[in-house]
Structure 1
Amino acid sequence: MHLLAACVLLSLAGQEVLGARILGLFPVAIKSHLTVTSPLMHALAKKGHDVTMFVPFNTGFNASNYREISWNAVPMTNQMNVLDFARVNILLKPFGFYFMGMSTTEAILETPEAKALWESDEKFDVIVTELFVNDALLAYVHKFKCPVVLISTFGTSSTINSIFGNPAPWSYVPSEFLSFSDRMTFAQRLQNTLVYIYGELVRKFFYIPRQQALVEKYLSGPDEKIPPLDEILRSADFILINSHPAFSTPRSYMPNMKNVAGMHLKPAKPLSVDLQRYFDSSKNGVILFSLGSAMKSVHIPEKPLRALKGAFQRLPYDVLWKWENDTMTNKPTNVRIGKWLPQNDILTHPNLKLFLTHGGISSMMETVYHGVPIVGIPILGDQQRNLICAREKGFSEMMELMEMTEDEIYDNIMKVASDPKYRENVKKVSAYWKDEMNNPLDEAVHWVEYVVRHGGGKHLKSVATEQSFVQYFLLDVGFTIMVLLILGFILIRAACRLLVCRRSSPEKSSKKDQLVTRKAQKKTN
């Protein structure tokens, strides 16, 4: 009896991480990113941990052991022209991406909330933060001297792979700045290699020095010198990745890299009476159209907007359009508009024919989870790559916003809505994702608690993170082998010459003797 009680107590002691103090740094002012990351922090609070969240907007969650430090940001997408940003060429794309990160990071560090957190004497057991062009905020990891769990809201990148020593061959892993699939042609592999090298050079010599300068400007003091940001970044213990082969391509991960795709998914709620009636009464079915939170439909340029309205008017289906104004000029008769739509709940209705979407990763996950086929209109970021992957898996067609015509829009919608193979394919992908899916939110909570329990995750890190570029790619070994081969070739060549010379020497001597003998005979005669 006593032995059983002792075993139970030991088991409980090994599992508990009661009251860990957790700091969540999620200052990126993009609502879709916060939608992915905030459920994890809310779940940690529900498990009894003391959670502090540094966020750009209030998330609406309340608990006695949960605190939000909100700096009331203007959404990042409101501060830039999304279409102009999307049209930047590949040479300027890294600079545009990094300039955006530098300006937003500086805006964060200037806030009284960021300064107050820096000057506080609080203690934390772990920091959970999103890695998204905000590297200067890693100084808080040095400040609080605790383990750090990173979150990537869109998959891996060259930087992430480097931090964790994760193998990501350029032959089949495309750069985050390109929209290639894993099946690249020779020309694409060549471009991918050059973009990887170019992107890394821009990051190392342009971006990181400027983020380091922000640290020196706002956080460093005479009594404290903050280490290089890359050094802090490489000390990261763990990363939670919002990705899965259902939306990406199969690739390897180190033990301290875990997919938790879908941790933001919630059970669908019943539709409002009005929306339920709208869907139920639709004779031929409904098309849902939304471009997410980054791109507002009211900002669609005139040409594609006219094409969309013309195509929708010809459809035999009703169209539910996320439109951010109360009215729409020349609205087609079969279109209903709404400033906000309960997307996750709508995707469960059986009378929904397809989802016309921008292809953001959160929308893709909701769509695949509920088994709804897609017609995609990518705008920026990873959206085109997401939709290319969906098209290759057979449940999507894709169009370019500025190039699509009325006929192309109509034909693609009719094709996906009427051909059952698209719905069958998305249900197959949904099935194999769900079949291997532990609850991703529970898994994310587990790994954060794991890092707290073990004081970090250094035991999971590959030695590859300690190797130089020369060591990792065996350039020193290759050089040594090449030198040995060259020396071997020189020695073999010298030996062959020596043998040839030795063989030819008796013959030459014999001929010389014969010539001397003949000359002597002539003199005698």
Structure 2
Amino acid sequence: MKILSLISLIVLLKITECARILGIFPTSGRSHYILGSSLMKGLAEKGHDVTVISPYPEKDPPKNGSYVDITLTSFAKPQDKNSFNLFQLNDINFLVYLLAMNSIGNEFTEGTLSDPNVQKLLKSDKKFDVVIIEQFVNDGLKVFAHHFQAHLVVFVTFGSNAWINPLVANPAPPSYVPEQKINMDPKNFFHRVFNTIIYIAGELNRNLLFFPAQNKIMKKYFPDAPDLDVLNYNASLVLVNSHISTNKPVPRVPSMVDIGGFHINPPKKLPKDLQEYLDSAKEGVVYFSMGSTLQSINLPVEKREAILRVFSKLKQKVLWKWEDESLPGQPQNVKLGKWLPQQDILAHPNVKAFVTHGGLLSILESVYHGVPVLALPVFGDQVMNAAEAAWNGCGRYILYDDLNEETLEEALNDILKNPKYSENMKTRSKLMRDRQNKPIDVADYWIRHIIRHNGGAHLRVAGLELPWYQYLVLDVVAFLIAITLLTIYLIYAFIKIILKTLSKNKNKSKIKKN
């Protein structure tokens, strides 16, 4: 009887720990949804009651747990091959890029809040314990946590960055923490100058332009909600898609938790044609994919032909994610696929190199499977990811403007022939796999932790209670400068009085002598 009572108590405690979680992932990029879906499905399988808002209906819901889709029917749909060519983003000035991201973010927020399915949810009697929001230029959506009186968890699809660091008072000195699109060597003075300018420009943009616009959109739907400058700083937890094996060490406040690689699954059996193709590659295979958002079909003709010429000279086979039926000038050693199971391909021992756009998912997957990379970054965090992979000795990168036949051939042959890249990547792979707990278990633990401790106020750093000028100790600097100037003035005045007195005494002495 006592044993049954104990078992019942354990089961009851387990049930009461399970949470009602709302996940909001409005970004139309497929890679963003892959991460959001992986996180929410993982939490559902941990026993939580999960509801997900996104532009994509889930085709493969978890077999365990509760998982409910709310599809953004009125929202911007994923791009197809005839839409805006994202390769053009490489040529956009950084300030124009900031303003463009503002516009995209305002569209995400407005589109989400106005969607009929979302409005139906907001008017329902549904309750949630936790609201998870993807932090991607959509800060106004944090109002969901206020509306449902739930704990706010922020999910960052790449490493800690300027979009989230100030919101949890996480230290991020521009002297060595690079901004997006920045290839930065901290030892280079001018790199630090440029990175600092970009950091200041980003902060001014967010605080003077973006946050006020987001607040206006939010107030349109929630007129009685607190201002965004209150809601923005209420996150109980930040889940960061990074790991020490792929990202340089940077500061982390207690509320920030690394879960990089949580979306990576054990390799599955490949389709028969791919399995045979990879198995038969005696010299190895080069896998080429520009990710799910960028599409190889949109590459400019001159760059595509340069890539084809380099691939045609290789003794290795090439597996290319190509989003069309045919590829003009396709060499015999190149196999195409509109969609390819990337993780399962990278797990095959015959894959010797991965030519990638440098998206963080691709970098994480290549590190996990120990495949050296040649990154061709175009926009966003891709340059930063590519530079860190090269800094770790795990591959090379070529800036998009510098991509041509000569640069690609030299870099790719170097990776294929020099064993150091493969060895370094395997070292990093061991580091990524050497964890006390699985990343999804870490996310699950900390979500339960903030629920158990009523939002986890003990994780908040004191910096969140300070206005920006106090956080940056500008008031202290101003005080010290004032004290220094006053001291200098007093010393100057004192010396001036002494000199004047000495001069008077000298004159009196002369008069007496005369």
TM-score bracket, shorter-length normalisation:
over 0.9
1:209 shift after superposition:
1.9
Matches within 5 A, 1:306-325: 306-325=305-324
1:401 shift after superposition:
3.6
1:390 shift after superposition:
0.9
- Name the residue aligned to 1:227: 226
1:212 to 206, 212, 215: 215
- Name the residue aligned to 1:485: 484
- C-alpha distance in 1 between matches for 2:4 and 2:390: 56
Does residue 133 of the first structure (1) align with residue 137 of the second (2)?
yes
Structure-2 change in CA distance of 1:24 and 1:388 (3 Å): same
- Name the residue aligned to 1:196: 199
Does residue 282 of the first structure (1) align with residue 281 of the second (2)?
yes
1:183 shift after superposition:
2.3
Ranges in structure 1 where 5+ consecutive residues have no aligned partner: 516-525
- 2:310 is paired with a residue whose SS is helix
1:109 shift after superposition:
2.6
- Name the residue aligned to 1:166: 170
Kept in 2, the 8 Å contact 1:17–1:453? The answer is no
- Name the residue aligned to 2:155: 151
Letter in 2 for 1:82: L
1:375-431: CA deviation from partner (whole Å, max 9, x where unpaired): 111122111111111112112122234542223322222221121111001111122
1:146-197: CA deviation from partner (whole Å, max 9, x where unpaired): 1111000011222311111111111111122x32235251111111111111
1:199 shift after superposition:
1.2
Does residue 381 of the first structure (1) align with residue 380 of the second (2)?
yes
Structure-2 change in CA distance of 1:231 and 1:184 (3 Å): farther
Structure-2 change in CA distance of 1:244 and 1:77 (3 Å): farther
- Name the residue aligned to 2:70: 69
1:11-59: CA deviation from partner (whole Å, max 9, x where unpaired): 8887764342111111211111121122221122222221111121022
Structure-2 change in CA distance of 1:10 and 1:491 (3 Å): farther
Kept in 1, the 8 Å contact 2:178–2:384? The answer is no
Structure-2 change in CA distance of 1:286 and 1:349 (3 Å): same
- C-alpha distance in 2 between matches for 1:355 and 1:147: 40
Structure-2 change in CA distance of 1:104 and 1:480 (3 Å): closer
- Name the residue aligned to 2:104: 100
- C-alpha distance in 2 between matches for 1:484 and 1:404: 55
Does residue 238 of the first structure (1) align with residue 241 of the second (2)?
no
Does residue 340 of the first structure (1) align with residue 345 of the second (2)?
no
- Name the residue aligned to 1:80: 84
Kept in 2, the 8 Å contact 1:249–1:389? The answer is yes
Kept in 2, the 8 Å contact 1:17–1:452? The answer is no
Kept in 2, the 8 Å contact 1:304–1:402? The answer is no
Structure-2 change in CA distance of 1:503 and 1:18 (3 Å): closer
Matches within 5 A, 1:305-454: 305-436=304-435, 438-454=437-453
Q: Which 10-residue stretch deviates more, 289-298 or 33-42?
A: 33-42
Structure of larger gyration radius: 1
Kept in 1, the 8 Å contact 2:35–2:157? The answer is yes
Structure-2 change in CA distance of 1:185 and 1:12 (3 Å): farther
- C-alpha distance in 2 between matches for 1:500 and 1:74: 78
- Name the residue aligned to 1:522: none
Letter in 2 for 1:293: S
1:233 shift after superposition:
1.2
1:501 shift after superposition:
4.3
1:138 shift after superposition:
1.6
- 1:240 is paired with a residue whose SS is strand
2:184 to 178, 181, 198: 181
Ranges in structure 2 where 5+ consecutive residues have no aligned partner: none
1:402-461: CA deviation from partner (whole Å, max 9, x where unpaired): 542223322222221121111001111122222245211110111111111112122110
- Name the residue aligned to 1:22: 21
Structure-2 change in CA distance of 1:300 and 1:257 (3 Å): same
- 1:234 is paired with a residue whose SS is coil
1:445-499: CA deviation from partner (whole Å, max 9, x where unpaired): 1111111111212211011011112211222222222222222233333333444
- C-alpha distance in 2 between matches for 1:66 and 1:185: 49
Percentage of matched positions with identical amino acids: 36
* TM-score, structure 1 as length reference: 0.91
- Name the residue aligned to 1:260: 259
1:64-111: CA deviation from partner (whole Å, max 9, x where unpaired): 622111124554444533122232112211111111112233222332
Letter in 1 for 2:140: A
- 1:158 is paired with a residue whose SS is coil
Q: Which 10-residue stretch deviates more, 37-46 or 498-507?
A: 498-507
- 2:283 is paired with a residue whose SS is coil
Letter in 1 for 2:376: I
- Name the residue aligned to 2:455: 456
- C-alpha distance in 2 between matches for 1:163 and 1:6: 45
- C-alpha distance in 2 between matches for 1:129 and 1:511: 85
Letter in 2 for 1:204: N
Does residue 116 of the first structure (1) align with residue 117 of the second (2)?
no
- 2:163 is paired with a residue whose SS is helix
Structure-2 change in CA distance of 1:472 and 1:284 (3 Å): same
- C-alpha distance in 1 between matches for 2:430 and 2:393: 14
- C-alpha distance in 1 between matches for 2:306 and 2:396: 17
Letter in 2 for 1:65: S
- 1:34 is paired with a residue whose SS is helix
- C-alpha distance in 1 between matches for 2:393 and 2:109: 39
* TM-score, structure 2 as length reference: 0.93
Kept in 2, the 8 Å contact 1:208–1:229? The answer is yes
- C-alpha distance in 1 between matches for 2:505 and 2:367: 86
- Name the residue aligned to 2:35: 36
